[in-house]
Chains A and B, each alone.
Chain A
């Protein structure tokens, strides 16, 4: 296995290619440009297609076409661009087309800034566009996870015929780390449902999200909700570090979880009983483990780079069985280890657990 030093965005792009992605459609926007630039160089080497679309809207609709035609297809963008893609993502979810969408997120609202942010959590996890639907959302916390989770994102997209999202941010995308790249996947088998041309099939394959007649729409939504229930039952992923004997559990994902981890190791050296719960899937959300921990009288602090989005899911999961505090950063910078250390220390002092 080769171990190489790569920027997060490039590690993700190479991970996608090794997972069998041969179709990339995107549009330039900072801080994700390394993804399309890497794909533009790399796709011709693997007989793949890189196409710079005329807009984010077109890029996601090209993905819809290519995914519907049975290929592993993806797009990447950053927050304002992901907003533009929401129409297409809703159609893709409704038509049950597998594909991967990458959001190397930046601060908003509006044009916002170019610095890292986690303020697209609601958009990513609650649907994002119109209608009742969910993406499977992965939040990588290391360069290695950028590689591993994009491969998993393609697999799960196909397994459930559902769009999946990698919710990354400017730090995860720009930072260089050593990664181990997997072997190139062998060629993928054809999908029976894809638009390939009938090729002797009796019935044509139709990829569609229209439910205008009789109970079509209700049935389509019931089928989707049954699928989402299966995903919630089977696809929750998280990392629990020192949560068993902790009094205080910090909940954080992605870039923020790295800062939290450093602060927690300082506190543990002081003998403090603190742990980390890091969601790896943001949807489905690890609500059961949080509920179980709350029932054991653990209390929680949520640290995120937003005004408080992840914290709402933690509060729902804890469901008044314990106390949930929040520490957020709004200015597009990451919280420092010192800030998080002091926040936790002052919480523990208030509780008399210091």
Chain B
């Protein structure tokens, strides 16, 4: 009998701390599957962020460094420069990457740093309890935008892939979503490609994953997934924003 499903080798069996309905677990699994597919577990080094994924090193069975808030791309740069033949990835949330770490991600991208970045965008600060993020949608209520994000006073959400696509440095930029199985399969392919880019030495690769946060959005897991599809995707269109072939496609 052919085995068609198994636990990824690059994951530990540690019990998750993520909330019920959170999609971090799915994204972790996709990353672990990519590591397994390429057989790179023994030479992969992860960098964990500050935020919900702060304990990422508990779930991946690979070497890890925990970074300060927003600094994961700089830490990953230091590691990759020491071990250019290893595979280095940073796993970051939206507050970490697009707010306090905006400088680090832009400069790692423009240097064409040969790292892989998994950017989880759930439009909210999760670990600290649901504050407004740089990617919080206009009108979206959070604990620090209790009347809804007012763009007249706090400005607009940042579209990270589009911003980074203005730079010459990145080799691969794609935005995906994990709100349903079809999109999860596409997200897995994008994450695999982002690792493949690094293995082939193509340069900086980032996959933005639209993700749900039922706890801080105050929704059921099912409603939260629908909210990703109906509210987030229109603002954050899915697609490839940079690839080595310079192919640009859109799939909303």
Binds B, one of A52-60, A268-276, A298-306: A52-60
B74 beta carbon closer than 8 Å to chain A: yes
Question: What 1/0 mask marks residues of chain A from 64 to 93 whose CB sits below 8 Å from any chain B CB?
Answer: 111111110100000000000001100100
Tell me the B81-104 residues at the A interface (CB within 8 Å): 81-83, 86-87, 103-104
Partner of A68, one of B44, B65, B103: B65
Residue among B44, B63, B104 with most chain A CB within 10 A: B63
Partner of B81, one of A51, A57, A64, A196: A51
Chain B minimum-CB-distance residue to A202 = B61
A345 beta carbon closer than 8 Å to chain B: no
Partner of A65, one of B60, B75, B106, B107: B75
Contact A195 B66 (CB under 8 A): no
Partner of B74, one of A53, A198, A208: A53
Chain A residues in 8 Å Cβ range of B68: 61, 87-88, 91
Question: What 1/0 mask marks residues of chain A from 187 to 203 whose CB sits below 8 Å from any chain B CB?
Answer: 00000000111111000
B54 beta carbon closer than 8 Å to chain A: yes
Contact A198 B42 (CB under 8 A): yes
Q: How far is the CA of A64 from the CA of B73 in the complex (A)?
A: 12
Chain B residues in 8 Å Cβ range of A58: 71, 74, 77, 103-104, 107
Please count how many residues in chain A sit with their CB below 8 Å of the partner chain's CB atoms. 39
Q: How far is the CA of A57 from the CA of B60 in the complex (A)?
A: 27
Q: How far is the CA of A74 from the CA of B107 in the complex (A)?
A: 20
Closest Cβ of chain B: how far from A336's Cβ, in Å?
43
A224 beta carbon closer than 8 Å to chain B: no
Q: How far is the CA of A66 from the CA of B82 in the complex (A)?
A: 6
Contact B104 A61 (CB under 8 A): yes
Q: How far is the CA of A160 from the CA of B138 in the complex (A)?
A: 50
Q: How far is the CA of A59 from the CA of B107 in the complex (A)?
A: 12
Partner of A206, one of B64, B76, B103: B64
Closest Cβ of chain B: how far from A44's Cβ, in Å?
13
Tell me the B160-182 residues at the A interface (CB within 8 Å): none
Chain A residues in 8 Å Cβ range of B41: 198
A138 beta carbon closer than 8 Å to chain B: no
Contact A71 B104 (CB under 8 A): no
Please count how many residues in chain B sit with their CB below 8 Å of the partner chain's CB atoms. 35
Chain A residues in 8 Å Cβ range of B75: 61-62, 64-65, 68
A179 beta carbon closer than 8 Å to chain B: no
Contact A199 B54 (CB under 8 A): no
Contact B77 A65 (CB under 8 A): yes
Q: How far is the CA of A66 from the CA of B67 in the complex (A)?
A: 12
Partner of A61, one of B44, B45, B78: B78
Closest Cβ of chain B: how far from A64's Cβ, in Å?
6
Contact A195 B79 (CB under 8 A): yes
Q: How far is the CA of A325 from the CA of B248 in the complex (A)?
A: 72
A209 beta carbon closer than 8 Å to chain B: yes
Contact B79 A69 (CB under 8 A): yes
Chain B minimum-CB-distance residue to A88 = B68
Chain B minimum-CB-distance residue to A58 = B74
Chain A minimum-CB-distance residue to B63 = A195
Q: How far is the CA of A68 from the CA of B82 in the complex (A)?
A: 10
Q: A63-B78, A210-B54 are in contact. List 17 more A-B contacts (CB 8 A).
A: A57-B71, A57-B104, A58-B103, A64-B65, A65-B74, A69-B79, A197-B45, A197-B62, A197-B87, A198-B43, A204-B61, A207-B64, A207-B65, A208-B65, A209-B66, A210-B55, A210-B66
The 3 closest A-B pairs by CB, nearest first: A65-B78, A61-B74, A197-B43
Q: Could you list 17 examples of A-B contacts with CB < 8 Å?
A: A53-B74, A54-B106, A55-B103, A58-B71, A64-B67, A65-B75, A66-B78, A68-B79, A73-B78, A195-B45, A197-B62, A197-B86, A199-B42, A204-B60, A206-B64, A206-B66, A208-B64
